[in-house]
Amino acid sequence: MTASQSPAERAAELRRRIDDANYRYHVLDEPDIPDVDYDRMLRELQELETAHPDLATPDSPTQRVGAMPSSKFAEVVHKVPMLSLGNAFSDEEVHEFVRRIGERLERKAPVFSAEPKMDGLAISLRYEDGVLVQGATRGDGSTGEDVTANLRTVKAIPLRLRGAGIGKGGNRTASAIPDSPFPIPKVLEVRGEVYMPRAGFEKYNEQARLHGGKVLANPRNGAAGSLRQLDPRITAQRPLAFYAYGLGEVRGGELPDTHSAILAQLKAWGLPVSDLVQKVTGADGLLDYYRRIGARRDSLPFDIDGVVYKLDDLAGQREMGFVARAPRWAIAHKFPAQEQTTTVEAIGIQIGRTGAATPVARLAPVHVAGVMVTNATLHNADQIARLDVRVGDTVIVRRAGDVIPEVVSVVLERRPPGTEPWQMPARCPVCGAEIVREEGEAAWRCSGELSCPAQRKEALFHFASRRAMDIDGLGEKFIEALVDGGMVHSVADLYRLGLDQLLWLRMVLNAGTRADLLAEAHDHLPADAYAALLRRVDVLPAGPAEDMAWRVALLREGVPPFAWNPKKIATKWAENLVEAIERSRDTTLERFLYALGIEQVGESTAKALAAWFGDLELIRHMPWPLFKRVPDIGGEVARAIGHFFDQPGNQRAVDELLGRGGVRIGDTHAPSARLRGELGLAALLADLEIPKVTRIRADQLAAAFPSAQAIAGEQPDRFVAAGLPEEAARSLAAWLEDDDHRGLLVRAGEALQTLLQRLPEADAAASGPLEGQTVVLTGTLSSLTREQAGERLQALGAKVAGSVSKKTAFVVAGEAAGSKLEKALALGVEVWDEARLLQYLESHR
Ligand code: IVH
């Protein structure tokens, strides 16, 4: 608040800025301020309104979740009924629709507004003098339910229209906004669709699955269910959005005379209108629109079940009129349904790269939204139990966007007699190892690790992928055959593949029948080898041409001695593949670590590990707590890395890659000097996650003992002597009684010392004085923008983060800094003001 501003003025300014930010975000889709600034303004406004209750207005952005839960919804009678639409399912029906209009209005090529048909819930919003006073569902079209309190929580719905008179109480004046010749009518009912964006829906369900909550069947049900909540606080937590597509009652004002101009006007008043809306001409224009939107359907951020065509000019609409409850001037052109029913033929499980066992329903093939679906995920065993899917059941499957088809629900009325609940098999169907579930985890896993061919295939595929070892030309099918044919057992085996093996593999895979294979092999094999092959082929298991069994059996017998006849076989692809494999031998630590497929280690973590530790030998023998010294690596990730290297099989795989595999990591370097500030006994002790041993206790221990190893052999009284409270001392002693814990502490202590010895002398110059430090900027700076300040700090090596943690090196706090400053103070993180920042930047030019 500037000195000259009264609280009322400040509140008005904040409201204007918040409304503006909402408009940019939801209507223009051009957000211009970060979420944190938005939150800060909202908080300031809230505080002002609490301090001056007379300043609060019902249309204030603080008043979205205001109302108390109700016991039921009141009825709302729609003055202008909410109609439905006739449907078209074919091009012919669209031609017929356009022909009828053309004839009646005597027009050759009528103009239409073509729009997406959002798959959500129709609602009506009533604005009086530009202020939202009521929101209702469609109900039966004549009477709906009053869901105002719930709709107010949907941020995309403006509580006050842009350009509505600003001021309190009844003195609002209907007013024009600069770019619009139309004043806001006294009464304006806006019709549109509330929907749940796909990303929000997926995220919501993921959380629900994780916490055993109720999952939403689809975004449409999600939207409908959310609006039907009696407690608006629940609705407020649901990811809902809104698009306007028409009008209901309008009184006391005029509006444009075409539908498209009305939508543009609604948008100018702050109501979101889909960007996909377009003006098109004639049946060809409509069908072209249908195809263009159809092609984008899967990649849209929300579900649509078709498109809607509306005659654009209102005079024409009036002339066309209505039949029953649908207009003659509009029609919905439907897309193929995203949900279908089919039956479950079997339930199998799929084993992922890290062993996760995902149940998959094998379905009687069914077309869903233009794609043949034969498998659908059941997510996890809990989900199956919740849905109670059984073999033989009729189920609803859904395929939307890029997500994997999933089973939505069971049609219980159609369940055949004698079915039984499904159970997770005790053993992996691929390798026979036990399937286990770690405590507290939703996922079941095959414990076979890399001895499981399914995990091996996934691991190989990941290993070879572009961002890992980048072996171009090694596709999924090929890897599958290499593993099944026994030619590749571990990643290192890839480096033994030669031309003969690749050519033979492809010949066996591509041959239509065994006879075809023999005919082709004849051209390339010496006589005695051919004779041997003839004998082998004869004893292979029989099976249809497409059967893999005989191919796999043959591959397992090894590669015959070839003398390739280059005139009769293409070899270029195989030479390229061999070369790609050869090229991948020279790699970087970052790629290598990523390629190993360690759980939780994506590219960015691999990069951080490589940058901070520099050396695979160090990393592969490091106890897990030390990984937590790298910013952004938390306990879970650190444990996963440690766990990976604890497996002898994984260590063997690494040895093999570097040994006979011939992989060379070219960028090994000493650990980063930045570690110096991160390493220490206290940090190590805190990282071990020993109950009751907080950072303060760890500091006390580090001050009293020379090393981790020294602590391992001590008694509780010595910990008390070091200053620990009784309880913490006992907890530490109890923890140390476990041999594994003691061993970990000793190993971690030794690793810490090794690491410290190997740190280079601090060479700040090479990397910038703030290298490895995370800083946070908050509040408004006067002499430069936050972005500029961030760039200059980054140039000095700093990482600029959005939130404050105890690892933050310092926080730069400008004018009106809020919660981040508070958090920094609470955590004891250093705080710089603008003057100090400028001085620092100046001295490090
Ligand atoms: S116009 C008089 N436009 O489809 C026309 N409806 O079957 C009334 N819908 O209940 C509707 N997107 O829920 C219209 N762009 C759109 C739409 C749309 C979705 C829904 C709406 C309505 C149903 C009509």
Tell me the pLDDT tens digit for each residue of 644-670.
999 888 899 999 999 999 999 999 988
- Indicate which atom in ligand 1 lies nearest the CA of residue 115: 15
Is residue 719 one of the residues assigned to a domain?
Answer: yes
Tell me if 465 CB under 6 Å of ligand 1.
no
pLDDT at 166 > cutoff 50: no
Give the DSSP letter of residue 490.
S
Residue nearest atom 9 in ligand 1 by C-alpha distance:
117
3-state secondary structure 102-139: HHHHCCCCCEEEEEEEECCEEEEEEEECCEEEEEEECC
Question: Based on the domain organization, do 118 and 256 belong to the same domain?
Answer: yes
Mean pLDDT of 234-243: 94
Which tokens in the block code for residue 20? 């503006």
- Å from CA of 66 to ligand 1 middle: 29
Mean pLDDT of 576-592: 96
Residue 212: pLDDT band (50, 70, 90) is confident
Task: Report how far apart, in Å, the C-alpha atoms of 655 and of each of 453, 491, 591, 617 are.
Answer: 20, 11, 16, 10
Task: Report how far apart, in Å, the C-alpha atoms of 45 and of each of 10, 12, 57, 196, 278 are.
Answer: 8, 9, 11, 28, 39
Q: How far apart are the C-alpha atoms of 252 and 183, rounded to whole Å?
A: 10
Mean pLDDT of 465-490: 92
Tell me if 245 CB under 6 Å of ligand 1.
yes
pLDDT at 325 > cutoff 60: yes
Question: Based on the domain organization, do 369 and 265 belong to the same domain?
Answer: no
Predicted pLDDT of residue 167: 38
Tell me if 193 CB under 6 Å of ligand 1.
yes
Query: Could you count the other beta carbons within 10 Å of the beta carbon of residue 158?
Result: 27
DSSP string, 464-485: HSTTTT--TT--HHHHHHHHHT
Nearest to 386 by CA among 442, 303, 445: 442
Q: Which runs of consecutive H residues, i.e. helices, occur in 497-561?
A: 499-510, 514-522, 527-538, 549-556
Q: Range of 376's domain?
A: 339-425
Mean pLDDT of 727-732: 94
Nearest to 504 by CA among 460, 583, 563: 563
**Is 473 in contact with 635 (CB distance < 8 Å)?**
no
C-alpha dihedral (732, 738, 740, 745), degrees to nearest 10: 20
Nearest to 462 by CA among 592, 597, 354: 597
Helix axes 499-510, 476-484, angle to 10 degrees: 100
Is residue 1 one of the residues assigned to a domain?
Answer: no
Beta bridge partners of 776: 801, 811
Mean pLDDT of 410-425: 94
Helix axes 527-538, 514-522, angle to 10 degrees: 170
Mean pLDDT of 732-748: 95
Tell me if 242 CB under 6 Å of ligand 1.
no
CATH number at residue 157: 3.30.470.30
Rounded to 5 degrees, φ, ψ at 38 are -60, -50
CATH number at residue 794: 3.40.50.10190
pLDDT at 595 > cutoff 90: yes
Higher pLDDT, 344 or 382: 344
Residue 631: pLDDT band (50, 70, 90) is confident
Mean confidence (pLDDT) of the chain: 90
Predicted pLDDT of residue 548: 82
SS3 content of the chain, % helix, strand, coil (to 5): 45, 20, 40
Residue 310: pLDDT band (50, 70, 90) is very high
Tell me if 118 CB under 6 Å of ligand 1.
yes
- Å from CA of 219 to ligand 1 middle: 16
Question: Based on the domain organization, do 652 and 569 belong to the same domain?
Answer: no
Question: Based on the domain organization, do 569 and 601 belong to the same domain?
Answer: no
Rounded to 5 degrees, φ, ψ at 164 are -70, 150
- Å from CA of 108 to ligand 1 middle: 26
Predicted pLDDT of residue 748: 95
- Burial readout 592-615 (b: 16 or more C-beta within 10 A, e: otherwise): bbbbbbbbbbeeebbbbbbbbbbb
- Å from CA of 121 to ligand 1 middle: 9
pLDDT at 282 > cutoff 80: yes
Mean pLDDT of 405-434: 93
Q: How far apart are the C-alpha atoms of 598 and 260, rounded to whole Å?
A: 54
Question: Based on the domain organization, do 798 and 722 belong to the same domain?
Answer: no
Tell me if 609 CB under 6 Å of ligand 1.
no
**Is 347 in contact with 360 (CB distance < 8 Å)?**
yes
**Number of domains, the chain:** 6
Question: Based on the domain organization, do 215 and 140 belong to the same domain?
Answer: yes
Residue nearest atom 11 in ligand 1 by C-alpha distance:
84
Please write the tens of the pLDDT for every residue from 349-407: 999 888 889 999 999 999 998 889 999 999 888 889 889 999 999 999 999 887 889 99
H-helix or E-strand containing 813?
A: strand 808-813
- Å from CA of 99 to ligand 1 middle: 22
Question: Based on the domain organization, do 609 and 578 belong to the same domain?
Answer: no
Q: How far apart are the C-alpha atoms of 470 and 166, rounded to whole Å?
A: 60
- Indicate which atom in ligand 1 lies nearest the CA of residue 277: 15
Please write the tens of the pLDDT for every residue from 771-807: 888 999 998 888 888 877 888 888 788 888 888 888 8
Nearest to 114 by CA among 335, 332, 338: 332
Q: What angle do CA 178, 183, 188 make, to 5 degrees?
A: 130
H-helix or E-strand containing 86?
A: strand 86-88
Give the DSSP letter of residue 24.
I
Question: Based on the domain organization, do 552 and 606 belong to the same domain?
Answer: no
Would you say how long the chain is, in residues?
845
Is residue 68 one of the residues assigned to a domain?
Answer: no
**Is 534 in contact with 518 (CB distance < 8 Å)?**
yes
- Indicate which atom in ligand 1 lies nearest the CA of residue 120: 13
Catalytic residue list = 117
Beta bridge partners of 191: 124, 246
Q: What angle do CA 204, 209, 215 make, to 5 degrees?
A: 60
CATH number at residue 749: 1.10.150.20
Please write the tens of the pLDDT for every residue from 245-281: 999 999 999 999 999 999 999 999 999 999 999 999 9
Q: How far apart are the C-alpha atoms of 743 and 168, rounded to whole Å?
A: 70
Predicted pLDDT of residue 180: 57
pLDDT at 762 > cutoff 70: no
Q: Are β-strands 75-77 and 143-145 bridged in parallel, bridged antiparallel, or unpaired? A: antiparallel
Among 550, 583, 616, where does a domain finish? 583
Question: Based on the domain organization, do 152 and 269 belong to the same domain?
Answer: yes
Question: Based on the domain organization, do 802 and 745 belong to the same domain?
Answer: no
pLDDT at 827 > cutoff 90: no
Question: Based on the domain organization, do 619 and 641 belong to the same domain?
Answer: yes
Is residue 509 one of the residues assigned to a domain?
Answer: yes
- Å from CA of 757 to ligand 1 middle: 70
Residue 765: pLDDT band (50, 70, 90) is very low
Q: How far apart are the C-alpha atoms of 126 and 549, rounded to whole Å?
A: 68
Is residue 287 one of the residues assigned to a domain?
Answer: yes
- What is the identity of the amino acid at 561? P
Q: How far apart are the C-alpha atoms of 162 and 16, rounded to whole Å?
A: 9
Residue nearest atom 24 in ligand 1 by C-alpha distance:
84
Tell me if 246 CB under 6 Å of ligand 1.
yes
Residue in 78, 80, 84 to alter for ligand 1 test, most ligand atoms within 8 A of Cβ: 84
Is residue 446 one of the residues assigned to a domain?
Answer: no
Tell me if 320 CB under 6 Å of ligand 1.
no
Q: What angle do CA 27, 31, 37 make, to 5 degrees?
A: 125
Predicted pLDDT of residue 165: 63
H-helix or E-strand containing 774?
A: strand 774-778
CB-based contacts of 300: which residues, under 8 Å, 6+ apart? Answer: 116, 198, 401
Is residue 441 one of the residues assigned to a domain?
Answer: no
Residue 169: pLDDT band (50, 70, 90) is very low
Q: How far apart are the C-alpha atoms of 564 and 575, rounded to whole Å?
A: 13
Helix axes 572-584, 499-510, angle to 10 degrees: 130
Please write the tens of the pLDDT for every residue from 57-109: 888 898 888 777 777 899 999 999 999 999 999 999 999 999 999 999 999 99
CATH number at residue 40: 1.10.287.610
Is residue 440 one of the residues assigned to a domain?
Answer: no
- Indicate which atom in ligand 1 lies nearest the CA of residue 305: 19
Q: How far apart are the C-alpha atoms of 808 and 827, rounded to whole Å?
A: 10
CATH number at residue 345: 2.40.50.140
Task: Report how far apart, in Å, the C-alpha atoms of 250 and of each of 46, 130, 190, 191, 537 are.
Answer: 33, 12, 9, 11, 82
Which tokens in the block code for residue 216? 């939403």
Q: How far apart are the C-alpha atoms of 25 and 60, rounded to whole Å?
A: 17
CB-based contacts of 845: which residues, under 8 Å, 6+ apart? Answer: none
Among 566, 583, 600, where does a domain finish? 583
Residue in 82, 117, 329 to alter for ligand 1 test, most ligand atoms within 8 A of Cβ: 117
Among 317, 334, 351, where does a domain finish? 334
Question: Based on the domain organization, do 220 and 285 belong to the same domain?
Answer: yes
